[in-house]
C-alpha cells in the first residue's frame, strides 16, 4: 500500500519542491536532494507525516469534532471546498478575512448581514428600493457569499484546521496559534514545518499533488465516521 501511494504521489508531482534558493532550512529532514536547482521531497517522510495527520483527523471525525479546511490559492480552491463538503466540514477557499477565528463576533455579524441580503425580497423595505440600490446590495451579497459560504455555520472555534500552503496562509496560522487550534498543513520546501503540529511535506502548487494529499485525509475521516 505504501509503495502504491508513493507511486501515485510521484505521478502527481508531490515530490517536487521549490528552487533551492527559496528553501527553509527547517525542511531539511524531509528532503532528499536537489535536482536541477529544485529540491526533491522524500516521499517516505511524506507518507509517514500523512499517516499521523490522517489518524489525528480520523479521531476527531469519530467524535464529531469540527474541522476547518483552508486554501485560498487558485490551485487549492476547488479541492478545499470538495474536501470540506465530502466530510461535512467547514472551509475558506477565497480569502482569509483577518479575525476569521479570533474575532468571531464580527464574523457572525457579517453572516447575519449575508442572511439579510439573501432574504431581501421578504423585507418590508424591499419595495421602496431602487434598482441601483438593489444592484449594490446584490454585489455586497455576492462578495460576502464568496468569503463566508464555507463558514456560515461555524459557530465556535474549530477543533483543527487543515491548510494548503502554510507559508501563504500566515494569518490563518497565526490565529490558530493564538487559539491553540492544532494545524495540519501541506508544507512545501519554502515553509517552516515547526509552525504546524502536523506538517505534511509536499508540493503545494500542483493541483494533483494537493488533491492526493487531501483525499487521503478525507478518506480517513469518512472511514472513521462510518465506524
Q: Are residues 143 and 198 in the same domain?
A: no
Give the number of domains in the chain: 2
3-state SS class at 219:
helix
Q: Is residue 42 part of a domain?
A: yes
Q: Which residue has the higher pLDDT, 1 or 154?
A: 154
Q: Are residues 30 and 129 in the same domain?
A: no
For residue 93, give its domain range. 22-101+157-226
Q: Are residues 54 and 131 in the same domain?
A: no
Q: Is residue 9 part of a domain?
A: no
The set of residues, in sequence order, having a beta carbon less than 8 Å from that of 80 and lying 6+ positions away, is 69, 70, 71, 91, 92, 93, 164, 214
Rounded to an integer, what distance in angstroms lies between the CA atom of residue 152 and that of residue 193? 30
Band of pLDDT at residue 2, cut at 50, 70 and 90: confident
Cell matching residue 132: 441601483
| pTM for this entry | 0.92
3-state SS class at 137:
helix
Rounded to an integer, what distance in angstroms lies between the CA atom of residue 154 and that of residue 159? 11
Q: Are residues 51 and 64 in the same domain?
A: yes
Q: Are 148 and 115 in contact (CB under 8 A)?
A: no
Q: What are phi and psi of 68, to 5 degrees?
A: -110, 120
Q: Are residues 108 and 215 in the same domain?
A: no
- 1 pLDDT exceeds 70? no
Q: What is the CATH number of the domain that holds 188?
A: 3.40.50.10490
- 167 pLDDT exceeds 90? yes
Q: Are residues 187 and 94 in the same domain?
A: yes
Q: Is residue 8 part of a domain?
A: no
Interstrand relation of 38-41 and 67-70 (parallel, antiparallel or unpaired): unpaired
Cell matching residue 215: 483525499
Q: Is residue 31 part of a domain?
A: yes
Per cent of the chain over pLDDT 90 is: 82
Q: Are residues 183 and 200 in the same domain?
A: yes
Q: Is residue 186 part of a domain?
A: yes
For residue 35, the cross-strand partners are 38
Rounded to an integer, what distance in angstroms lies between the CA atom of residue 79 and that of residue 71? 9
Instruction: Calculate the average pLDDT of the chain.
Output: 94
- What does the CA dihedral 181, 79, 212, 25 come to, rounded to 10 degrees? -50
Distances (CA, A) of 50 to 6, 149, 199: 12, 28, 8
Tell me what percent of the chain is helix, strand and coil, each rounded to the nearest 5: 55, 15, 30
Q: Are residues 94 and 162 in the same domain?
A: yes
Q: Is residue 129 part of a domain?
A: yes
Q: Are residues 128 and 165 in the same domain?
A: no
Amino acid at each position: 500500500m505504501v509503495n502504491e501511494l508513493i507511486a501515485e504521489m510521484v505521478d502527481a508531482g508531490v515530490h517536487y519542491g521549490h528552487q533551492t534558493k527559496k528553501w527553509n532550512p527547517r525542511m531539511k529532514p524531509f528532503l532528499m536532494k536537489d535536482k536541477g536547482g529544485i529540491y526533491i521531497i522524500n516521499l517516505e517522510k511524506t507518507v509517514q507525516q500523512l499517516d499521523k495527520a490522517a489518524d489525528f483527523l480520523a479521531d476527531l471525525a469519530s467524535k464529531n469534532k469540527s474541522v476547518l479546511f483552508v486554501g485560498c490559492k487558485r490551485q487549492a480552491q476547488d479541492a478545499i471546498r470538495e474536501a470540506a463538503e465530502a466530510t461535512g466540514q467547514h472551509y475558506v477557499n477565497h480569502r482569509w478575512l483577518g479575525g476569521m477565528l479570533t474575532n468571531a463576533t464580527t464574523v457572525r455579524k457579517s453572516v447575519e448581514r449575508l442572511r439579510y441580503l439573501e432574504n431581501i425580497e421578504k423585507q418590508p423595505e424591499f419595495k421602496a428600493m431602487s434598482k441601483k440600490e438593489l444592484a449594490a446590495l446584490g454585489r455586497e451579497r455576492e462578495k460576502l457569499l464568496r468569503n463566508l459560504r464555507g463558514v456560515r455555520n461555524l459557530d465556535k472555534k474549530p477543533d483543527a484546521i487543515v491548510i494548503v500552503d502554510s507559508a501563504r496562509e500566515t494569518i490563518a496560522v497565526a490565529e490558530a496559534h493564538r487559539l491553540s487550534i492544532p494545524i495540519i498543513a501541506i508544507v512545501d520546501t519554502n515553509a517552516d514545518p515547526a509552525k504546524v503540529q502536523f506538517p505534511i511535506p509536499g508540493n503545494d502548487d500542483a493541483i494533483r499533488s494537493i488533491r492526493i494529499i487531501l483525499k487521503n485525509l478525507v478518506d480517513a475521516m469518512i472511514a472513521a465516521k462510518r465506524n
